[in-house]
Chain A
Amino acid sequence: GAGVSQSPSNKVTEKGKDVELRCDPISGHTALYWYRQRLGQGLEFLIYFQGNSAPDKSGLPSDRFSAERTGESVSTLTIQRTQQEDSAVYLCATSLSLAGVWGEQYFGPGTRLTVT
């Protein structure tokens, strides 16, 4: 497809379980971002990947959160031992940088995570 895709679209899990969220970027977009958006709130930056460079993990809220991306392909965000406060929509976005100028970000439809 032409856009960013994410799976699953919805995930309900019990407190304490691990979850894995997936993002398929737009082909050729070197930069990939994960954000979290709680209900009624703004976007919270989690992590950034750029090619094979070391990711910027500065936004990850705790060590229960981790993410991986191999090259410029799929990324997975893993949340271990989920807590109720992890309930949110997790959004993936990708973008392209040309000559150091950052273009538009394109978002996937998000994964709505509910921890019961």
Chain B
Amino acid sequence: RKEVEQDPGPFNVPEGATVAFNCTYSNSASQSFFWYRQDCRKEPKLLMSVYSSGNEDGRFTAQLNRASQYISLLIRDSKLSDSATYLCVVTSGTYKYIFGTGTRLKVLA
């Protein structure tokens, strides 16, 4: 079983739609959780950290479920500029950051 698993997509959604991605992780000792965004041929950029109580940043909401070992990302009112690959990242106990292979999102006009 992979340490971090994501649905690769692609998710094709119309502008204005709400879309949600899930990511599961296998190491119950994981402490830190993040969502990154990666545009084509660019480096990953931090989208948001994920906190135990859940957190929101504008149109983006992240949730953590430790009992079921998954994190989620909700994007409301999708924009064309949201089209990218979204990477789930989990720390593996110590210093290792484990990256999912990413979920591709395409927002259609």
The chain A residue with its CB closest to the CB of B32 is A102
Closest residue of B by beta carbon distance from A35: B99
Contact (Cβ within 8 A) B46 A104: yes
Query: Given that A91-B43, A108-B43 are known contacts, is A97 also in contact with B95, CB under 8 Å in the complex?
Result: yes
User: Interface size on B (CB < 8 Å)?
Assistant: 20
Give the interface segment out of A12-20, A41-49, A60-68: A41-49
Q: Hey, what's the 0/1 contact readout for B85-98 against A, CB within 8 Å counting as 1?
A: 00101010001110
Number of A-B residue pairs, CB cutoff 8 Å, is: 47
Contact of A107 among B45, B91, B95 (CB under 8 A): B45
Residue of B44, B91, B95 near A48 (CB, 8 A) is: B95
Please indicate the chain A residues that have their CB under 8 angstroms from the CB of B32 in the complex.
101-103
For B102, give its contact among A42, A45, A91, A95 (CB under 8 Å).
Answer: A42
Q: Provided the pairs A101-B31, A104-B46, A105-B89 are in contact, do residues A42 and B95 lie with their beta carbons within 8 angstroms?
A: no
- A94 shortest CB reach to chain B, Å: 11
Question: A102, B97: Cβ atoms under 8 Å?
Answer: yes
Pairs of residues from A and B, 10 with the lowest C-beta to C-beta distance, nearest first: A42-B101, A107-B43, A43-B99, A102-B91, A104-B46, A102-B32, A110-B43, A107-B44, A109-B43, A105-B97
